[in-house]
Chain A
Amino acid sequence: MSRHRLILNPIACEAHGMCAELLPERITLDEWGYPMVDDEPLPAALLGHARRAAAACPTFALLLERDRGRS
Chain B
Amino acid sequence: MSHAFSTSDATTRMPEARPRAPEPALPGSLPRLLSGVPAAGDALGLDRHLDVHGTLPRERRRGRRSEHELIAQVERSGLRGRGGGAFPTGAKLRAVAARRGRPIVVVNAAEGEPASSKDRVLCELAPHLMLDGAVAAAHALGAREAIVGVCESSSAADTLARASAERGSADAVQIEISVVPRGYVAGQESALIAHLNGGPALPTFTPPLPFEQGVRRRPTLLSNAETFANIALIARHGADWFRALGTTEQPGSTLVTLSGPVAAPAVYEIEYGTSLRALIDAAGGLLAPVRAVLLGGYAGSFLDGALLSDLALSDAQLAPHGASLGAGVVALLSTDACPVAETARVARWMAAQSAGQCGPCSHGLPALAGAIAEIAGGVAADDAGERVRALGRIVRRRGACSHPDGAVRLLLSALEVFGEEFSDHARHGPCERCAVGAELPLPARQVARASSRSNERAAARSRGLSRERARAATR
Which of under 10, 10 to 19, 20 to 34, or 35 or more describes the interface residues of A?
10 to 19
Chain B residues within an 8 Å CB radius of A32: 359-360, 363-364
Task: Answer yes or no: B473 CB below 8 A from chain A CBs.
Answer: no
Chain B residues within an 8 Å CB radius of A14: 359
Contacts A9-B205, A10-B205 known; A15 to B398 CB distance under 8 Å? no
Chain B residues within an 8 Å CB radius of A36: 394, 398
Chain A residues within an 8 Å CB radius of B358: 10-11, 13
Of the listed residues B357, B398, B399, the one surrounded by the most CB atoms of chain A closer than 10 A to its CB is: B398
Cross-interface CB contact of A12 among B203, B205, B399, B467, cutoff 8 Å: B205
Chain B residues within an 8 Å CB radius of A9: 205, 400
How many angstroms from the CA of A13 to the CA of B360 in the assembled complex? 10
Cross-interface CB contact of A10 among B394, B399, B467, cutoff 8 Å: B399
Contact B357–A11 (Cβ < 8 Å): yes
How many angstroms from the CA of A13 to the CA of B400 in the assembled complex? 11
Cross-interface CB contact of A34 among B203, B205, B360, B400, cutoff 8 Å: B360
Question: Which residue on chain B has the smallest CB distance to residue A33?
Answer: B359
How many angstroms from the CA of A15 to the CA of B204 in the assembled complex? 18
Contact A11–B363 (Cβ < 8 Å): no
Chain A 1-28 per-residue mask, 1 if CB under 8 angstroms from chain B, else 0: 0000000011111110000000000000
Contact A31–B205 (Cβ < 8 Å): no
Contact B359–A15 (Cβ < 8 Å): yes
Chain A residues within an 8 Å CB radius of B359: 10, 13-15, 30, 32-34
Q: Is the interface of A mostly helix, strand, loop or mixed?
A: loop
Chain B 375-414 per-residue mask, 1 if CB under 8 angstroms from chain A, else 0: 0000000000000000000100011100000000000000
Question: Which residue on chain A has the smallest CB distance to residue B363?
Answer: A32
Which of under 10, 10 to 19, 20 to 34, or 35 or more describes the interface residues of B?
10 to 19
How many angstroms from the CA of A33 to the CA of B399 in the assembled complex? 15
Chain B residues within an 8 Å CB radius of A12: 205
CB A38 to nearest CB in B, in angstroms, measures: 12
Question: Which residue on chain B has the smallest CB distance to residue A15?
Answer: B359
How many angstroms from the CA of A14 to the CA of B399 in the assembled complex? 13
Cross-interface CB contact of A11 among B205, B364, B394, B467, cutoff 8 Å: B205
Within 8 A of A (CB), among B420-475: 467
Question: Which residue on chain B has the smallest CB distance to residue A34?
Answer: B359
How many angstroms from the CA of A6 to the CA of B398 in the assembled complex? 14
Chain A residues within an 8 Å CB radius of B205: 9-12
Chain A residues within an 8 Å CB radius of B361: 10
CB B404 to nearest CB in A, in angstroms, measures: 9
Chain A residues within an 8 Å CB radius of B467: 15
Chain B residues within an 8 Å CB radius of A31: 394
CB A39 to nearest CB in B, in angstroms, measures: 10
Of the listed residues A10, A11, A12, A15, the one surrounded by the most CB atoms of chain B closer than 10 A to its CB is: A10
Question: Which residue on chain A has the smallest CB distance to residue B461?
Answer: A32
CB B303 to nearest CB in A, in angstroms, measures: 30
Chain A residues within an 8 Å CB radius of B364: 32
Contact A10–B204 (Cβ < 8 Å): no
Spell out B's residues near A (CB within 8 Å): 203-205, 357-361, 363-364, 394, 398-400, 467
Spell out A's residues near B (CB within 8 Å): 9-15, 30-34, 36
List 5 A-B residue pairs with CB atoms under 8 Å apart, sorted by A's residue number: A10-B360, A30-B394, A32-B364, A33-B359, A34-B360
Complex A-B, nearest 5 residue pairs according to Cβ-Cβ distance, in ascending order:
A10-B358, A34-B359, A32-B363, A11-B357, A9-B205
7 additional A-B residue pairs with CB within 8 Å, beyond A10-B361, A14-B359, A33-B359: A10-B205, A10-B399, A11-B357, A31-B394, A32-B364, A34-B398, A36-B394
